[in-house]
């Protein structure tokens, strides 16, 4: 089976690897370099119990998190690459009485659902994370969450996919996807590419004119600015989450500070206000971050959908075109599950139960 994957972000790369690993002949194209869209600005936090409190996103997030250990082990083995990944937990920190009340309600909800968690009073927060600021008054530890370095993961996925025979073509823009009687024809700047299936994993660009002959996806860009700070040693032991920012400490002393949420169309520029706001919020949580050097400001356009759920599954217009887009804030978390759902659908004709939560038909696609 020949498959064209459009988009080499973390979702497209995971699908490419999964299909190639399972025997398909896959080509993945991207109008830019791999991981140059929202993936390069993803902090890689794996936090379904923070990002979703109920409903379909929670179910999808939990299902994908359960796959993560095996997913990373498989990519490490198949690529030979080291990928920084840790399930070291997340600590949500309350700086005000109002935030503490909200966290207590979250803790009660986790208790009902049996999610492993621990309530920490001020002293316990400081014992776990001595670097937190003086305003910290309580914390909620979710021990099973964690993070992965998203760009490294994407690179390793494409390396592993290449070893399984997949071809990656960066700098190739798809001009049009045309369903045919037996598959799809993709018109690109370099020629026509015929395949049995096309998978649209183009993130914010999934509503591009190229895909309109199949369907107009309701995916819109939501800008996120992310800071990459550097210090000589890690400033925290785990992901720290506050109401105005989240912090991801890497082993090399880097600290990622994310992220703005801005509806500014296809504008991938950073702003002074965005950077200053994140630095202020980071310093309130971890004062030592104020002295950390600013290495890079990354900007990504999250692919938002009206209900914040992804769009995964075959198009009603042509079963040869499969959507894997609209992952909004959770592309890294949902990559393993999305890859498995798409591969099961294409290679085994199996529509897994989770697909109902991401059904393109809810948007008439």
Q: Residues 187-226 vs ligand GLY: string with x where CB under 6 A?
A: -------------------------------------x--
Q: Which CB, 50 or 321, lies closer to ligand GLY?
A: 50
Q: Which CB, 223 or 320, lies closer to ligand GLY?
A: 223
> Measured from the CB of residue 70, what is the shortest distance to ligand GLY in angstroms?
22
Q: Which CB, 9 or 258, lies closer to ligand GLY?
A: 258
> Measured from the CB of residue 224, what is the shortest distance to ligand GLY in angstroms?
5
Where do we find the tokens 């760009």?
Answer: 151
What number of chain residues touch ligand GLY (CB under 6 A)?
6
**Burial of residue 329, with CB atoms counted within 10 A of its CB: 0-12 exposed, 13-18 middle, 19 or more buried:** buried
Which residue of the chain is nearest ligand GLY when measured via CB? 329
Q: What angle do CA 203, 20, 3 make, to 5 degrees?
A: 60
| Order of strands, sheet of 138-142, starting from the edge strand that comes earlier in the sequence | 118-121, 138-142, 90-94, 239-241, 246-249, 254-258, 220-230, 293-304
Q: Cα(161)–Cα(75) distance, rounded to whole angstroms?
A: 9
Q: Which of residues 56-95 bind ligand GLY (CB under 6 A)?
A: none
Q: Which of residues 273-302 bind ligand GLY (CB under 6 A)?
A: 302
Considering only 29, 184, 201, 259, the residue that binds ligand GLY (CB under 6 A) is: 259
> Measured from the CB of residue 43, what is the shortest distance to ligand GLY in angstroms?
6
Q: Cα(211)–Cα(285) distance, rounded to whole angstroms?
A: 43
> Measured from the CB of residue 22, what is the shortest distance to ligand GLY in angstroms?
28
Q: Residues 92-111 vs ligand GLY: string with x where CB under 6 A?
A: --------------------
Report which of 282, 281, 275, 274 is spatially closest to residue 254, judged by C-alpha positions: 282
Q: Which CB, 100 or 262, lies closer to ligand GLY?
A: 262
Q: How many CA atoms lie within 13 A of 89 on its CB side?
A: 16
> Measured from the CB of residue 151, what is the shortest distance to ligand GLY in angstroms?
15
Q: Cα(326)–Cα(205) distance, rounded to whole angstroms?
A: 10
Q: Cα(154)–Cα(148) distance, rounded to whole angstroms?
A: 10
> Measured from the CB of residue 102, what is the shortest distance to ligand GLY in angstroms?
18
Q: Which CB, 38 or 289, lies closer to ligand GLY?
A: 38
> Measured from the CB of residue 278, what is the shortest distance to ligand GLY in angstroms?
11
Q: Which CB, 45 or 60, lies closer to ligand GLY?
A: 45
Considering only 258, 274, 303, 326, the residue that binds ligand GLY (CB under 6 A) is: 258
Is residue 95 a contact partner of residue 132, using CB atoms and an 8 Å limit?
A: no
Q: Cα(215)–Cα(192) distance, rounded to whole angstroms?
A: 20
Where do we find the tokens 């109008």?
Answer: 31
The separation between CA 358 and the C-alpha centre of its own chain, rounded to angstroms, equals 15
**Which residues, 6+ apart, have CB-to-CB distance to 353 below 8 Å?**
none
Considering only 15, 329, 336, 346, the residue that binds ligand GLY (CB under 6 A) is: 329
Q: Which CB, 21 or 149, lies closer to ligand GLY?
A: 149
Q: Cα(128)–Cα(121) distance, rounded to whole angstroms?
A: 11
Considering only 5, 45, 63, 240, the residue that binds ligand GLY (CB under 6 A) is: 45
Binding site for ligand GLY (CB under 6 A): 45, 224, 258-259, 302, 329
């Amino acid at each position: 089976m020949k498959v064209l994957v459009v988009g080499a972000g973390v979702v497209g790369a995971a699908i490419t690897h999964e299909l190639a690993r399972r025997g398909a002949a896959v080509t993945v194209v991207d109008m830019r370099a791999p991981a140059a869209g929202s993936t390069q600005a993803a902090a890689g936090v794996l936090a379904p119990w923070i990002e979703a409190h109920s409903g379909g996103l929670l179910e999808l997030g939990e299902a994908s998190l359960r796959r993560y250990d095996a997913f990373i082990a498989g990519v490490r083995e198949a690529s030979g690459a080291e990928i920084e990944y840790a399930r070291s937990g997340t600590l949500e920190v309350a700086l005000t009485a109002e935030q503490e009340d909200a966290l207590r309600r979250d803790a009660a909800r986790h208790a009902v659902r049996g999610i492993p968690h621990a309530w920490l009073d001020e002293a316990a927060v400081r014992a776990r994370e001595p670097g937190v600021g003086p305003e910290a008054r309580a914390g909620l530890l979710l021990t099973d969450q964690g993070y992965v370095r998203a760009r490294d993961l994407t690179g390793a996925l494409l390396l592993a996919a290449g070893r399984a025979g997949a071809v990656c073509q960066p700098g190739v823009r798809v001009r049009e996807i045309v369903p045919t009687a037996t598959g799809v024809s993709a018109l690109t700047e370099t020629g026509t590419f015929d395949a049995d299936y096309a998978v649209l994993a183009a993130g914010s660009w999934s509503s591009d004119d190229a895909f309109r002959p199949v369907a107009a996806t309701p995916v819109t860009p939501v800008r996120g600015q992310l800071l990459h700070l550097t210090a000589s040693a890690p400033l925290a032991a785990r992901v720290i989450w506050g109401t105005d920012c989240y912090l991801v400490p890497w082993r090399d002393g880097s600290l990622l500070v994310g992220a703005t949420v801005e509806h500014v169309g296809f504008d991938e520029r950073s702003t002074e206000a965005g950077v200053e706001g994140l630095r202020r919020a980071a310093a309130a949580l971890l004062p030592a971050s104020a002295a950390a050097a600013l290495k890079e400001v990354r900007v990504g356009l999250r692919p938002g959908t009206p209900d914040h759920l992804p769009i995964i599954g075959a198009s009603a217009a042509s079963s040869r075109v499969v959507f894997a887009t609209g992952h909004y804030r959770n592309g890294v978390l949902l990559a393993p599950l999305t890859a498995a759902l798409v591969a099961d659908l294409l290679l085994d004709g199996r529509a897994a139960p989770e697909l109902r939560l991401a059904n393109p038909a809810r948007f008439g696609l």
